[in-house]
Amino acid sequence: MRLAPRALCRAAQAAWRENFSVLGRDVARWFPGHMAKGLKKMQNSLKLVDCIIEVHDARIPLSGRNPLFQETLGLKPHLLVLNKMDLADLTEQQKIMQRLEGEGLKNVVFTNCVKDESVQQIIPTVTELIESSHRYHRGENLEYCIMVIGVPNVGKSSLINSLRRQHLGKGKATRVGGQPGITRAVMSRIQVSERPLMFLLDTPGVLAPRIESVETGLKLALCGTVLDHLVGEETMADYLLYTLNRHQRFELGVQWCNLGSLQPLPPGSSDSPASAS
C-alpha cells in the first residue's frame, strides 16, 4: 500500500483544517437548543446529586472531553468511566492513567457496557467517593442520586442499562443507539441498585462550545460523537488512513480495503511513515 509522502501529509492536514474551520461551528453546535437546555437542567439538578459519573470513549481518553463539565457542575465527587474498552488499544493503559491523574482525575474505570465488563467496579467506587466526601450529609435519607454526563454517543445510557442488568436483573430503561443525540433531555431518576439504593440521572450529550483543535474534532467524529456529514465522510476517511499509516498499522487498511496483494513500502523510503510529518 503506497503511503502519502511528507508534502502530501502536510497538504492533507491543511485540507482537514480548512474543511473543519468551515464546519467547526456547526459541528460544535449541531443541536444547540438541546445541548444548552440540557446543560442548564444539569446545573439546576445539582442540589439533588451526590456524585457525577462522566462517561467518555476509551479510544480517545486524553482528548474530546467537555471542559465545561468541571466548570459548571461544581465540586461533586467525580468518577471518569472510559467506555468501549473493547474497541480501544489498551497497551498504554498505565500511561493513560498517569496522564489523567496528572490532570486531577484519580478515579478512572475502563468498561465495556455491551458485555458488562468491569462495570461491577462502579457502584462500590461511587459509594466510597460519596461517603468519603466532606460534603456528605446523609441524615435519614439512605439513597444515592448520581448524574451521568458526557459528550454524545459515548455510552451513558448503555452504562445505566448495564448497571441495571448486573444489580437488579432488569432490562434496559433508556434508549441507546449508534448515532449521537438519542438522549434529548435530563430524564427522571432511574434505579440501578437496591443495596445501596441508588438512582441515576441520564443526561443528553453535550459538546464543548468550541472544539479545541482540528484533530480533536476529527477524533470525535470518527468515534461517532458528531454526525458524519457535518465533517465529511471523505475527510474522516482521509484522516483515519493517515493515522493508521503514521502508526504503521498497515494491516488494518489492507484488511478493511481487501488489499491483501499489496505490500507496504520498506522503512526509510521517501513514502514511508518515518519520513512523514
* Banded pLDDT at 139 (limits 50, 70, 90): low
pLDDT of residue 188: 72
277 domain-assigned? no
Same domain (yes/no): 14, 64: no
Same domain (yes/no): 177, 63: yes
267 domain-assigned? no
Same domain (yes/no): 185, 247: no
Is the pLDDT at 124 greater than 50? The verdict is yes
Same domain (yes/no): 67, 158: yes
Is the pLDDT at 268 greater than 90? The verdict is no
* Banded pLDDT at 242 (limits 50, 70, 90): confident
What strands, in cross-sheet order, belong to the sheet with 190-193? 108-110, 78-83, 51-57, 144-149, 198-201, 190-193
Query: Alpha helices of the chain — where are they, by DSSP H?
Result: 6-28, 32-45, 68-72, 93-102, 122-131, 156-168, 214-222, 228-231, 233-246, 250-257
Same domain (yes/no): 148, 95: yes
**Residue 125 CA from chain centroid, whole number:** 20
pLDDT of residue 218: 87
Same domain (yes/no): 111, 149: yes
Cis amide bond preceding 266, omega within 30: no
Q: In the predicted model, what is the mean pLDDT of residues 39-60?
A: 91
- pLDDT, mean over the chain: 78
Is the pLDDT at 167 greater than 80? The verdict is yes
Q: In the predicted model, what is the mean pLDDT of residues 1-12?
A: 49
* Banded pLDDT at 137 (limits 50, 70, 90): low
Record the pTM: 0.79
Same domain (yes/no): 15, 42: no
221 domain-assigned? yes
Same domain (yes/no): 75, 159: yes
* Banded pLDDT at 120 (limits 50, 70, 90): very high
268 domain-assigned? no
Domains identified in the chain, total number:
2
Q: Which amino acid is at 245?
A: N
Same domain (yes/no): 21, 113: no
CB 171 within 8 A of CB 165: yes
Same domain (yes/no): 132, 23: no
Same domain (yes/no): 101, 237: no
pLDDT of residue 187: 65
Which residue range forms the structural domain that includes residue 18?
6-27+211-260
Percentage, residues of the chain above pLDDT 70: 69
Same domain (yes/no): 14, 41: no
CB 94 within 8 A of CB 61: no
Q: List, for residues 72-88, the tens digit of each pLDDT value.
A: 777 889 999 999 999 99
pLDDT of residue 49: 92
